[in-house]
Amino acid sequence: MSRNVKGQFEKGTTGNPKGRPRKQLRSISDEEVRRAFFEAEDTLVPIVVGNKREMIPASVAIDKQLIFKAASGDPRSMMLYYKRKDRFVLEYVEQQMRNLRALVEAQERIRDFPEDVTDEFKRAVQLLQFKIDKSYLL
């Protein structure tokens, strides 16, 4: 870097040839993003029901808003609502089918090996039977 007699830089030269360093981006891990998402989802937000103010989780408020918009005729909201409903119904049916399979296997085990079945196993089978929706039972 050349300077003149007064200590000033010559015309056309700079005292910072490399320039200002670039801003370093802070990397965010997937775990941090996931944690922040679920924390925000559980944040309580105020809503007014009738003349009363209630605090509910943000995820519930979003679901309610989606349903209100779908009911008012918004086509995108309707599409999203029915997609979500179909997914939830499918998940529920799959869970019921898994429970039914486990119940049938347990009942077969009780029938085939009655001497090896404990009372705890029988209670677990009864609890499983209570978890199954009555409309899925024969």
pLDDT tens for each residue of 43-79: 999 998 889 999 999 999 999 999 999 999 999 999 9
Q: Which domain holds residue 113?
A: 85-138
Number of domains in the chain: 2
Looking at the fold, whether 96 and 118 belong to one and the same domain comes out as yes
Task: For residues 57 and 46, give the distance between their C-alpha atoms in angstroms, rounded to a whole number.
Answer: 9
Sequence-distant (6+) residues with CB within 8 A of 34 are none
Task: Supply the pLDDT for residue 17.
Answer: 77
Decide if 98 is inside a domain: yes
- Whether the model clears a pTM of 0.95, i.e. scores above it, the answer is no
Task: Supply the pLDDT for residue 1.
Answer: 64
Residue that is last in its domain, among 72, 97, 128: 72
pLDDT tens for each residue of 121-136: 989 998 988 888 887 7
Looking at the fold, whether 89 and 67 belong to one and the same domain comes out as no
Looking at the fold, whether 60 and 93 belong to one and the same domain comes out as no
Decide if 94 is inside a domain: yes
